Structure 1
Amino acid sequence: MKSETLQRSAAALCVTGDVPNALSLDLAQLEALPHHALGPIDIACMTGRPVAHVDRYAGVRLTDVLDATGLAQLHRSELKRCIVVASGRDGYQALFSWCELYNSPIGAQALILFERNGEPLDDHLGPLALISAADTHLGPRHLRHLDGLAVRRL
């Protein structure tokens, strides 16, 4: 439990790249954003093999974090060329386009997670994780130990 408390207190998410205001948000700042929940939810890899069943995940929308950077200030033609690269401490990455986050059902269910079944995330997932729950297969964009978001214009 002590390592979990230290891990949660050290949690930080850096948002960098082509945004008006780069951010570094700690867990308390993320928890101050509007909360959203998912579940029950079954997570499967690309092959369809079950990976996990979760009764409830809670966190904040990826779009709310991006909005906090002032991303919406960019001209619409620039926004349509933006991608978001989410990175975990293990080097795993998940990609999103601005269009799918802001112009499809995916955005409402792309969450930065900090709770699983009413408890803080475990050491396996890290203090922060990411899931794109509107995807057909949830495994490929279920990212553990989330520590960075980078916005890039193509």
Structure 2
Amino acid sequence: MNLKLVWVYFLSIGFVAQAWAQQTKSIAVTGEIASEIVLDWGLISAQEAEEIGDFSITNHLGEPRGVLQSAKGVPVSSLLKDLAFKTPSPKQLSEFYFVFEAEDGYKVVFSWNELFNNPLGEEVYFVTFANGKPMEEMEDSILVISKTDFRTGRRHVKNLEKIHVKRVP
């Protein structure tokens, strides 16, 4: 009997933990840029979305963890292309990197060169539609994926809240 109570307890903790994740509605872009900006659902959704198709999510071992079906998205680089960086010379752009931070504190990194000087940058998306739902109805809310990564779950950022623009010292 006690084993059943323990099982119910752990199940209830799991449901409460899932409820802690807050659906994000906007992203603050801050750091080594001339002025901070905010990207919200409306601004992202107003961009022309590209067909991503079905997208498999894998863990660090390459094992399947899920699939986004019939996904559409907006390239991250298209929304960040007009950022004015705090640098006097374009030569120094290679020193910049972006820390994408989720509501729960999960962080991933992209360099300036990855996003703006490499084909990878064309394959990093804000997902605007997946599994039959628009961004506003998705549990993962503002979701970023890197389509060309081998282990796609490593840079699969759910409920994105902040993008910190930093510079290598």
The answer to whether residue 103 in structure 2 is matched with residue 106 in structure 1 is: no
How far, CA to CA, are the matches of 2:51 and 2:86 in structure 1?
24
Count of aligned pairs? 145
What residue is the counterpart of 1:93 in the other structure?
107
Per-residue deviation, residues 85-110 of structure 1 (Å, max 9, x unmatched): 00100100110011111222210110
Gaps of 5+ in 1: 1-6
- What is the aligned partner in structure 2 of residue 63 from structure 1? 77
Q: Which amino acid aligns with 2:51?
A: A
CA distance in 2, matches of 1:21, 1:33: 21
AA aligned opposite 1:103: N
Normalised to the residue count of structure 1, the TM-score between the two structures is 0.84
Contact 1:34 1:60 survives alignment (8 Å): yes
Structure label with greater radius of gyration: 2
Question: Equivalent residues in 2 for 1:5-84 (5 A)?
Answer: 11-71=25-85, 75-84=89-98
CA-atom RMSD, angstroms?
A: 2.2
Report the AA paired with residue 24 of structure 1: V
Any idea what SS the aligned residue of 1:39 has?
A: strand
Checking the alignment, whether the CA contact within 8 Å between 1:20 and 1:73 is kept in structure 2 is no
Unpaired segments of 5 or more residues in structure 2? 1-21
The alignment-based identity, stated in percent, is 27
Q: Secondary structure of the equivalent of 2:47?
A: coil
Output the amino acid matched with 1:56.
S
TM-score of the pair, normalised by structure 2: 0.77
Q: Which amino acid aligns with 2:46?
A: A
Task: Answer whether contact 1:40 1:55 (CA < 8 A) is retained.
Answer: yes
Letter in 1 for 2:100: A
